[in-house]
Structure 1
Amino acid sequence: MALLSVLVLTEDLALAELLVSILSSMPGMLELFQAATIPEAIKQTPISSPNYLFLDTNVPGLDAPSIMKLFLLCPSCRIIAMLPSAEPVSKLIDLFQSGVRGFLNRNDITPDVIQSTCFSLPWNLIPLSTDVLTSSSSSLGASLEAKLTTTEKAILQAICSGLTNEQIARSLFIGRRTVEKHLTSIYGKLRVQSRTEAVVKWIHQQGMAIG
């Protein structure tokens, strides 16, 4: 089995210890590296050539240019953002456009989640919950385009732009309750349970078309 290199970027000692403990106990061959700051990670990345980078979004100074620099230093690296339970939609989009292709809720990091999502193939996108994505992006995109109505697509695009339900209602000249009904329909069609998961799934199938 090929040796996998994993870099963990966080200044949170408890989070670092949790990840190292989980990764160290996994079957297979893993080489673990740690960094507590952006400069340390930038210095470490060319040396470790990580296959996976677990990125704590609470690291001070973390921004789109620094993530893009890490990505350019190791283009084949799969960058996984570890997020608090609630993040603004705009931040998710910024992370995606900077090269992040994995999203994990910090409160849901368990051995099963790491094993079943981060080290499963084919690897497309690690969602905020483990069952958000179940098919390839190409087939997913085709099925979503067919399922969603024109209004539902417009609402999803509006959510990606950071609009609230009230703002969406005004922009589309419909009622707030109508927006909420469309959102319920969207969640069902996308097989998600939250606004954030819907955005992650939508921007994944749209590629870099947004923004």
Structure 2
Amino acid sequence: MLVVDDNPIVRGALLGILAGDPGVEILAEAANGREGLHAARRLRPTVTLLDHRMPIADGLSVIGTLAQYTSVLVMTSDDDPQLISDMLRQGARGYLVHGEFEPPELLRAVHAVASGRGWLSPIAASVAASMLRDQHQARARHAARPRFGLTDREEDVMTLLCQGLSNASIAHRLRLTEKTVKNHLNHVFAKLGVRSRTEAVIRWTSQLG
């Protein structure tokens, strides 16, 4: 077990709860995402408790790599739906919000994640359900319209473009560089036979109606 949280008081409380369970072995603790990533690479813990708001490297910035070495249970005060969605997409197996659980639930969540199952606070479960619903609707729309030869990633970029996002915002949402987004858009324009963002949006959305 690895505990990653920048607040020493919170870490101490968590370690005290976990130490009371004979089925949990504490391998290490870390005060930021960078330290946590180094510890996970070295120790390969079965489960890592990960906070989000931390100095040097926050939870979201490391979870994608961290999840390659350990099952991640996010535990944070942040209940923003976009953050929850991003954490789940990046590999979180569980998400607990401070104030929404008691110590026994934390221990149940740790054991669930350790056994390959998930564990979500109510708000996180709601976000996960919304993600599944959106994915189902997107697949249905995808099956009903021509693709113009676009790749999946180009479709992702085009979908966000239709929502009015800038290149910078698209890059942040998809965790790409702005240059990569611009390259994708150039390919999209060529495949759609258009020359501008506005024409691309009109061409792409016309197939939905």
* TM-score normalised to structure 2 length: 0.56
Q: Mark the structure with the bigger radius of gyration.
A: 2
Residue of 85, 91, 94 corresponding to 1:102: 94
Deviation at 1:115, TM superposition (A): 2.4
Contact 1:20 1:32 in 2 (8 A): no
Give runs of ≥4 in structure 1 deviating > 4 Å.
204-211
Aligned residue for 1:128? Answer: 121
Three-state SS of the structure 2 residue aligned to 1:30 is coil
> Residue 44 and residue 59 in structure 1: after superposition, are their counterparts in 2 closer, same or farther (change >3 A)?
same
Residue of 193, 196, 200 corresponding to 2:128: 200
Deviation at 1:24, TM superposition (A): 0.6
Deviation at 1:198, TM superposition (A): 1.5
Residue of 64, 67, 70 corresponding to 2:63: 67
Aligned residue for 1:161? Answer: none
Say if 2:97 is the partner of 1:82. Answer: no
> Residue 120 and residue 65 in structure 1: after superposition, are their counterparts in 2 closer, same or farther (change >3 A)?
closer
Aligned residue for 2:8? Answer: 13
What is the distance in 1 between the residues matched to 2:133 and 2:105?
22
> Residue 113 and residue 206 in structure 1: after superposition, are their counterparts in 2 closer, same or farther (change >3 A)?
farther
Gaps of 5+ in 1: 1-5, 130-193
Partner amino acid for 1:200? A
Partner amino acid for 1:126? W
Residue of 18, 29, 51 corresponding to 1:34: 29
Aligned residue for 1:49? Answer: 44
Considering Cα pairs closer than 8 Å and 6+ residues apart, tell me whether 1 or 2 has the greater RCO.
1
What is the distance in 2 between the residues matched to 1:199 and 1:103?
11
Q: What are the within-5 Å matches in structure 2 for residues 165-180 of structure 1? A: none
Deviation at 1:63, TM superposition (A): 5.5
Aligned residue for 1:117? Answer: 109
Across the aligned residues of Structure 1 and Structure 2, the Cα RMSD in angstroms comes to 2.8
What is the distance in 1 between the residues matched to 2:81 and 2:2?
26
Residue of 88, 93, 96 corresponding to 2:85: 93
Aligned residue for 1:156? Answer: none
Partner amino acid for 1:92? I
Partner amino acid for 2:27? L
More helix by proportion, 1 or 2? 2
Contact 1:80 1:102 in 2 (8 A): yes
The percent of aligned pairs where both chains have the same amino acid is: 19
What is the distance in 2 between the residues matched to 1:54 and 1:71?
11
Contact 2:94 2:109 in 1 (8 A): no
